[in-house]
Structure 1
Amino acid sequence: MSVTDGRTAPAHPQAKGPDPVPLRRNRDYLMLWSGAGLTLLGSRATSVAYPLLLIWSTGSAAAGAMAAFAAQLPHLIVQLPAGALVDRWNRRRTMLVCSAGCAVSTASVVAAVGVGQVHLAHLAVAAFVEGSLMVCHRLAERACVRQVVPASQLTAALAGNEARGRAAGLLGQPLGSAAFAAARWSPFLLGSVTHLLSLLAVLCVRAPFGGRPAAERRRLGPEIAEGLRWLWRRRFLRRITLLISGSNVIFQALALLPAFVLYEDGLSPATVGVIAAISGAGGAVGALCGGWATRRIGLAGLVRGALVVWALLVPALALTRSPLLLGALLAGMSLVGGAVNVAGGVHQVRTTPDALQGRVNSALQLTGSGANALGALAGGVLLDSLGAARTAALLGVAMGVLALVAAASALTRLLASDEQQASQEQQASQEQQQEPIREQEGERPS
């Protein structure tokens, strides 16, 4: 049950018993996991198809970047209100509506391509709608995890979620590009079907995931501000989110590079899927190793090390046009990124009160990914004007600057300060919750 004063919700009932149900037998977690995985699979398939449709139709990377920009724009303008609404609404119902909306949006592209009426404006709107609904779906699903698994299994559950996301990229982008090579409407049909299957999976979740009663809600602006204030007081989260935000912009600028290289070399668009599969495999391995890496290196060391690895690998993209080597370099980047996402996600979910999960996560996503749309747009312009090799070299320099900033930051000290603050707040919350019980016991006759 969520509360408006920021107190942490009770643990999942399974956490109270001595032997919590294993994740592989936790029905609600499996349905939630598979439902989100299916809608991610559909989204990954269409995300690669939008720019492919425009690049192969116009020969311009900038045109493909417009579709990528539209798909990423919701991360900038939808995140904050979506987080507040997810904390208000029934989160299960929110996921159902989002899956249905995504299915309708992608089906409209199937119809347009089928009748030969493909227009940039329609594709941009469809990509924006699907991206906006996916933002809401991910925030709702992330906020639900702590309600269906005990605290002792939280790291394993979030590692599984991150691996699922990487696997969706591993399968979705190759499926999308291969389907595009066969028929230009088919990746969007694939997306529509997977969104509908996701809806059916979430319907099987028994947990209610109810939102706050209307009587406990305030105006949307103050509720959004509450999440922002909570995040602002966490200096470590604030610092690493800004660093990761810079790296995400660079990666979005690089996202079109494989497709552009393949187009210039006259290779099949299906090869984009091979590169994505190799990259996704690296990310899945990194996600599964996230808990181990955090225990050995620590979250602060993991962030610093990731930026150093990325600073070395990004400019290496300028040295090859081989699809396999491009995939291997991107796999190395994804491997490190998967581990960082798991470690950071566990830290955020554990330290954030349940009533603020949606808003805090949306604020983190906005800061971390809000500028991705600009990165995608800049990538298209850079590729058209500088070419693939010079673009990779320039972005490698930018990543090196971020690595130097991280090395100069006192991340370990800031992490310790944040964890101490979270512990004090949780202790104060528990004392608040116990106070009415002590008062009632004091009123009982002896």
Structure 2
Amino acid sequence: MKDSDDSRSNCELLPKPVAIYRTNDVKLSTMSSEQPMEDNAKSLRPFAIMWGGQAVSLFGSRLVRFTIVWYLTLQTGSATVLAIATIMALLPQVLIAPFAGSYVDRWNRRRTMIAADMIIALSILFLVAMFHFGTIEVWHIYLAMLIGSAAGAFHWPAMLASTSLMVPKKHLLRVGGLNHTLQGAAGIIAPPLGALVLILLPMSTILMLDVVTAIIAIGALAAIHVPQPERTSLLVEKSVLGDMMDGFRFLRKTRGILLIVVMAMFLNLVGGPASALIPILVTNHFHG
């Protein structure tokens, strides 16, 4: 019995190899969990750069759009002018959007976004020159809005399609929420900031803010690699009209998405003209 007690006490005094192995396992598992986090950060870095540039550009565009609408309101006081400006901003989206996605799938998406940002910047730069030399006319603003809207019809699908290739599938819902948050934040921050700069700065300087933010977005895109999807034989053989018809067939089969699209179209059709005339309501009725 004494020998057994001594052996037991000696065993208790010895270091426990099991605990050492468990400690090593914890260290190994910690190292292995840190590595995927670093890999995820590296894989998301190009998207973060692209998203940051586009976020800056979005705020600039929203601010300038607000100031242009209020410039037209204060200079003309015409509901017709505002209605035409709204049509110039929406018509290219309605006419081009059904085909834009098919073309974006065939083109280089990074170059498409850069070209769209450059066209938007040049259209605003045209207005800057008109304001600077004092030769601005209402139709100049219509033309710039028409060109910018047409370029934007290709830019947005290219960015959405690129996001699905640059972001891991498990993060797509988060990125979608982040995009909606950005849209909402721009809609909240841009109007009061636009009202402030409209009082403090001339229109040519305000418009240059949009040009600068567009250049930032172009620089961000130029600094990264945007992956391209594989060009399958089916994509090469199918026409743009065929792609569009496939989209309509998908909507018809997917009743939930079709219902959402119809509701969005109805809300835009009803709410769009009313929101465009809010500046006239503010100035004429509330004397703002």
TM-score (norm 1): 0.52
- 1:169 paired to 2:187: yes
Contact preservation (8 Å) 2:43, 2:166: no
Partner of 2:91: 73
In the TM superposition, what is the alpha-carbon distance from 1:109 to its structure 2 partner? Answer: 0.6
In the TM superposition, what is the alpha-carbon distance from 1:184 to its structure 2 partner? Answer: 2.3
Partner of 1:131: 149
Contact preservation (8 Å) 2:116, 2:155: yes
In the TM superposition, what is the alpha-carbon distance from 1:52 to its structure 2 partner? Answer: 1.6
- The code of the aligned residue for 2:172 comes to L
- Which has the higher relative contact order, 1 or 2, with Cα contacts under 8 A spaced 6 or more apart? 2
Q: Quick one: structure 1 residues 211 and 22, their matched pair in 2 at CA, closer, same or farther if it must change by over 3 Å? A: closer
2:71 to 23, 31, 53: 53
- The code of the aligned residue for 2:166 comes to V
2:228 to 181, 194, 209: 209
- 1:226 paired to 2:239: no
Which structure has the greater CA radius of gyration?
A: 2
In the TM superposition, what is the alpha-carbon distance from 1:24 to its structure 2 partner? Answer: 9.6
**Two-structure CA RMSD over aligned residues (Å):** 2.4
Contact preservation (8 Å) 1:89, 1:210: no
- The code of the aligned residue for 2:282 comes to L
Partner of 1:195: 214
Partner of 1:311: none
Partner of 2:132: 114
Contact preservation (8 Å) 1:29, 1:145: yes
Cα distance per residue 1:181-205 (max 9 Å; x no partner) = 3312233211111111110111122
- The code of the aligned residue for 1:249 comes to L
- Aligned residue pairs total 251
Cα distance per residue 1:235-267 (max 9 Å; x no partner) = 111112101211122331232354223312343
Segments of structure 1 that go 5 or more residues without pairing to the other structure are 1-16, 268-446
SS at match of 1:212: coil
Distance 2:115 2:137 in 1: 26
In the TM superposition, what is the alpha-carbon distance from 1:119 to its structure 2 partner? Answer: 1.7
Cα distance per residue 1:316-368 (max 9 Å; x no partner) = xxxxxxxxxxxxxxxxxxxxxxxxxxxxxxxxxxxxxxxxxxxxxxxxxxxxx
Q: Quick one: structure 1 residues 56 and 47, their matched pair in 2 at CA, closer, same or farther if it must change by over 3 Å? A: same
Matches within 5 A, 1:269-418: none
Q: Quick one: structure 1 residues 218 and 93, their matched pair in 2 at CA, closer, same or farther if it must change by over 3 Å? A: same
Distance 2:230 2:198 in 1: 40
Distance 2:218 2:158 in 1: 14
- The code of the aligned residue for 1:35 comes to G
Q: Quick one: structure 1 residues 150 and 65, their matched pair in 2 at CA, closer, same or farther if it must change by over 3 Å? A: same
Distance 2:41 2:74 in 1: 44
Distance 1:23 1:244 in 2: 35
- The code of the aligned residue for 2:212 comes to V
- 1:98 paired to 2:116: yes
Q: Quick one: structure 1 residues 91 and 260, their matched pair in 2 at CA, closer, same or farther if it must change by over 3 Å? A: same
Distance 1:170 1:209 in 2: 34
Cα distance per residue 1:87-135 (max 9 Å; x no partner) = 1111111111111111100010111111122222221111011111112
SS at match of 1:26: helix
Q: Quick one: structure 1 residues 144 and 115, their matched pair in 2 at CA, closer, same or farther if it must change by over 3 Å? A: same
SS at match of 2:203: coil
Distance 1:199 1:217 in 2: 32
1:247 to 264, 267, 271: 267
Distance 1:20 1:255 in 2: 46
Distance 1:24 1:180 in 2: 41
Contact preservation (8 Å) 1:23, 1:149: no
Contact preservation (8 Å) 2:83, 2:277: no
Distance 1:111 1:211 in 2: 43
Contact preservation (8 Å) 2:100, 2:153: yes
Contact preservation (8 Å) 1:109, 1:188: yes
Segments of structure 2 that go 5 or more residues without pairing to the other structure are 1-34
Contact preservation (8 Å) 1:107, 1:189: yes
- 1:83 paired to 2:101: yes
1:183 to 202, 207, 225: 202
